[in-house]
Structure 1
Amino acid sequence: MRYAAIGDSFTEGVGDPQPDGTMRGWADLVAIGLAQAHGSVEYANLAIRGRLVEPIATEQLDAALALDPPPDVLTFNGSGNDMMRPGWDAARIEELTRRVVDLTAEAGVRLVLLSGPDPTERLPRGRNFAERADQLMDIVDRLDAAYDHMTFVDNYRDPEMRRAAYWDADRLHLNPLGHSRVAARVLAAMGVETDLPVAPEGDAGRPGVLAEAAYVGRYVLPWIGRRLTGRSSGDGRVPKHATWTTIEAPAA
């Protein structure tokens, strides 16, 4: 089985660091789960943090479909970075999303399109993000109803994943538990039953003034600085698995 993933930091695995400094994330966990089900799997992950949906739906998609041999299944997520920037254009987002859906259908590749979980309760300007996310969900719902080769994994409307227990300290990326929950939901959609991780009851309360100020200084201001200077967290980065990598089933 050949599985390819395209996307941004969510699919790259940011928030799930390994001891060697690399990021794992839900897509790697999906590849491991598929290997457990099938004995082994060929895996490519072309996602790069900070990417807008246009390069995901063009450059990354074209590279994934050009892999030799081509993928059997492809996961696609995008638009999260677009939602946080000026110039949101829902019509263009739909056009690019349709490109992914149409080209995978033409290539005979099964498409698993997934939304990221909802981070809006703890984000600055979260309401603006939510309005754009609702528009994206409307787009995906229409596509999901129209195409047989596509499976939609709706993490955005999973209320469990709005809890702080699934999120990294930056409040934008998932932590290891969050990535594990997404991986389990994707594997289930692919027909591989996996235990669904659930956080223990009880979340930490709202941060105090000093903690909130520290958060802004550590995460929000650097993000604003990159936007003002036209930089991206993904500048200079390359995909972690640009070609097929064999993933063997883990030992029992």
Structure 2
Amino acid sequence: MEINASYTSFVAVGDSFTEGMSDLLPDGSYRGWADLLAARLAARTEGFRYANLAVRGKLIGQIVEEQVGPAAAMQADVVTLVGGLNDTLRPKCDMGRVRDLLEEAVERLAPACRQLVLMRSPGRQGPVMQRFRPRMEELFDHIDSLAARHGALVVDLYGTEVLGDQRLWDVDRLHLTAEGHRRVAEAVWQALGLASEDDWRSPLPPQARPGWTARRTADVRFAREHLVPWIGRRLTGRSSGDGRPAKRPETPAVHGPGRQPADGPARERPLLATHPPP
């Protein structure tokens, strides 16, 4: 990969991980690693363009049907594709179909962009991770194979110990915190051949394990606020993304933090690259 390469456009394809949950902004919207990455890229290139087609809850079949065509048509310098993990977390999952659909997505996107980026997604350490690990690793092996055949980059988040640390995961136990998303943005930044700002793999400071009461309280909150609604959606065939539009369906020009577009601030949408206040 060319060091300090220049990129003029970026399109992100995927589900809630790429939409940015749970990196919550003060206005109630989500930011996430893709927005952070776009802001940093925009700070280097005048007229940088960014689209984020990701929608929470989407399965790989929906991503292929709804997002891949529009993403390919945008002819972006960089396209990121992260999908299939929602499928592996379903009780019934046809991994053969998941592999075929992911291959279709890669075959359509790789020729339509300068650099396709795939990921081995991170996973929070715990019983859910252990239960679905075989499916996840089958998916990631397929991603490695596709990348090798189509010249895509693979950002290995799954193999990085710190991203399994429970402190980098929201209370829903499915989505990264703001710090987790920041580290993912840095990982993709470096994979694209850009100079590192820090070591995104560095471990968090040691911390005493919460006591039994605190752990049980957290378990009850998780079950009430997240697990029960998730089961309810599965039983009724609903998804958290039903009816939601893409996060940023077009590629308007953006500028990074501290920059104003050459023709005035009204013509471009800013992207925040700082964390919201605690």
Same fold at TM > 0.5: yes
Shifted more, 189-198 versus 38-47: the winner is 189-198
Give the equivalent residue in structure 2 for 1:141.
Answer: 144
Contact map agreement 1:165 1:199 (CA 8 A) in 2: no
Deviation at 1:164, TM superposition (A): 1.6
Q: How far apart are residue 158 of structure 1 and its match?
A: 0.9
Question: Which structure 2 segments of 5+ residues have no match?
Answer: 1-7, 260-278
TM-superposed CA distance for 1:133, in Å, is 0.6
CA contact (8 A) 2:13 2:53 kept: yes
Note the alpha carbon deviations across 1:121-172, whole angstroms, 9 max, x for none.
235x432221111101111121222222x11111111111111221111111
Matched, 1:47 2:49: no
Is this contact kept in 1: 2:169–2:176, CA < 8 A? yes
Q: Give the direction of change, closer, same or farther, for the CA distance of 1:237–1:204 in structure 2 (3 Å limit).
A: farther
Which residue number in structure 2 is paired with residue 151 of structure 1? 153
Q: 1:165 aligns with which of 152, 167, 171?
A: 167
Q: Which amino acid aligns with 1:249?
A: G
What are the equivalent positions in structure 2 for 1:227-238 lying under 5 Å apart? 227-238=234-245
Secondary structure at 1:38 match in 2: coil
Identity %: 39
In structure 1, list runs of 5 or more residues that go unmatched. none
Aligned CA-pair RMSD:
1.8
Where does 1:50-69 land on structure 2 (aligned, <5 Å)? 50-67=57-74
Structure 2 length normalisation: TM-score? 0.83
Structure 1 or 2, whichever has the larger Rg, is: 2
Structure 1 residues 177 and 71, CA gap change in structure 2 (3 angstroms): same
> Which residue pairs with 1:177 in the alignment?
179
Task: State the Cα distance separating 1:209 from its structure 2 match.
Answer: 2.5
Deviation at 1:248, TM superposition (A): 0.8
Aligned pair count? 247
3-state SS of paired residue (1:161): helix
The alignment partner of 1:244 has SS state of coil
Would you say the 8 A contact 2:20–2:34 is kept in 1?
A: yes
Structure 1 stretches of 4+ with a deviation exceeding 3 A read: 196-200
Shift of 1:204: 5.5
